Amino acid sequence: MNAIFAIIRRDLLLAMRRKSEVLTAVFFFVIVVSLFPLGIGPEPALLRKIAPGVLWVAALLATMLGLQRMFAPDHHDGTLEQMVLSPTPLGLLVGGKIAAHWLLSGLPLVLLAPVLGLQFGLDADALGVLMLALLLGTPLLSLIGAIGAALTLGLRGGGVLLSLLVLPLYVPALIFGAGAVEAHISGLGAAGHLSLLAALLALAVFFAPWATTAALRIALE
Amino acid sequence: MLTAHGLTCVRGERRLFAGIDLAVGPGEWLHVRGENGAGKTSLLRLLVGLMHPAAGEIRWDGAAVGELGDEYRRQMLFLGHHGAVKEELTTLENLHFAAALDGAELPEREALAALHRFGLRGREELPVRFLSAGQKRRVLLARLVTRKARLWVLDEPFTALDVKAVDMLSALIGEHLGGGGMAVLTSHQAMPIAGGRVLQL
């Protein structure tokens, strides 16, 4: 277990020392979400209607920004080889990498979402549902993204391929995540959507590190 | 004891080498030599389990390394071409992280002693990106002191080192062999360490 916490601590430390990478994704999220109300105009009903979709699409794209660098620096400087050769199972180490990625790219989005949601005239309850949906959904984005990042590791033009590979897999998270907020606003209750999102997350927590590990081993051959 | 029998390596369409046999016992070391592109690094990567041989098998103390898995990895240390050293972290942080990855506790005192031994006194808290290429290599080699492993697999360990560091490293390898350790290494230089066998690819 120590090795996993060491990986998380190291990745957070590295992010602290090169802040620009983390901040880029966060600023991207803030700016994209803020541009919509400015572009569409002050129509409260319309803004409330598009808010969940806009926030979720922006969250997907913001997560995509840092995805390619999830394993690339470790691959480049040989740390990945040492991770494969570590006595700790690679799946657990990869779990640590994914956790660190979520802490750096997912958690800030969850915390910022309610502030940005205010621009769209969402009420407090809807903002709560939005946060909960993002709390369940953003780890899912990191987990699925890790598979794509590992599969495209070391490829030329891997960035474009990564988007083509990962964005379709993000569709269920987008539908249920944005759907939860919409269902809440229309009075249907968000429980159904949130449970499905949680089920997807449970599935991904189980399978994604395993698939990522297999892809990383292939990349190193 | 590390033994390999009939190792064959195929990269893409090309066969790098075939039918390599080798054995390294306690206190022995193997010097892998060959031209650029002969497959020295590939052989080392096969031995540590980063790649799988097209044919042949590798055994550690009589058991296939594939079955030993973590048990083999715990007793083996591989230092490759790339440093596995993070530029943004300090030399001390790099050593601590490497130890944590091995699942080991590294007392501060031992980490400092290892850095001092490789002439990095006064640079413990310096981010690695401020060091020269040779000093970066020294940070990497300090792992040889902090990590307890029976088998060392070193790919070009003398690259970028000055004369003094080459002597230090040779002495370190000598100590390791004297304590019953084993080593496999590639180098283009003649090696100032006694008791080695040469494998020409």
Choose among A207, A63, A203: nearest CA to A138: A63
pTM for the full predicted model: 0.90
Residue A167 has a pLDDT of 93
Cβ B88–A6 below 8 Å, yes or no?
no
Residue count of chain A, please give it. 221
Coil, strand or helix at A11: helix
Cβ B88–A17 below 8 Å, yes or no?
yes
Residue B104 has a pLDDT of 77
Residue A93 has a pLDDT of 92
Q: Work out the average pLDDT over B27-45.
A: 88
d(CA B177, CA B150): 9
Cβ B83–A77 below 8 Å, yes or no?
yes
pLDDT in tens, B52-106: 888 889 998 888 888 888 888 888 999 888 878 888 889 988 888 888 888 777 8
Select from A3, A76, A89 the Cβ nearest to the Cβ of B101. Answer: A3
Hey, what amino acid is at B83?
Answer: G
Residue A26 has a pLDDT of 93
The alpha-carbon gap from B101 to the nearest alpha carbon of chain A, in Å, equals 5
pLDDT in tens, B112-168: 888 888 888 888 888 888 988 888 888 888 888 888 888 999 998 888 888 888 888
Hey, what amino acid is at B36?
Answer: N
Choose among A191, A147, A192, A139: nearest CA to A169: A147
> Which segments in chain A show pLDDT lower than 70?
none
At B36, is the pLDDT very low, low, confident or very high (cuts 50, 70, 90)?
confident
B152, B182 contact by CB (below 8 A): yes
Cβ-based contacts of B50 with chain A (< 8 Å)? 81, 84-85, 220-221
Cβ B88–A220 below 8 Å, yes or no?
no
Q: Are strands B151-155 and B182-186 parallel, antiparallel or unpaired?
A: parallel
Which chain A residue lies closest to B72 (C-alpha atoms)?
A87
Hey, what amino acid is at A191?
Answer: A
Q: Are strands B29-33 and B196-200 parallel, antiparallel or unpaired?
A: parallel
A184, A117 contact by CB (below 8 A): no
Residue of A79, A83, A84, A221 best to disrupt the B interface, most CBs of B under 10 A: A79
Choose among B169, B173, B179: nearest CA to B196: B173
Residue of A20, A71, A82 best to disrupt the B interface, most CBs of B under 10 A: A82
The alpha-carbon gap from A31 to the nearest alpha carbon of chain B, in Å, equals 29
Which chain A residue lies closest to B100 (C-alpha atoms)?
A3
Residue B147 has a pLDDT of 83
Structure tokens at A218: 């292939």
Cβ-based contacts of B100 with chain A (< 8 Å)? 2-3, 6
Residue of B41, B82, B141, B156 best to disrupt the A interface, most CBs of A under 10 A: B82
Cα distance between the two ends of chain B = 21
Cβ A85–B48 below 8 Å, yes or no?
yes
Kindly give, in sequence order, each residue whose CB lies less than 8 Å from that of residue A108, ignoring residues fewer than 6 positions away.
A22, A25, A26, A29
Structure tokens at B58: 């590798």
ipTM for the complex?
A: 0.88
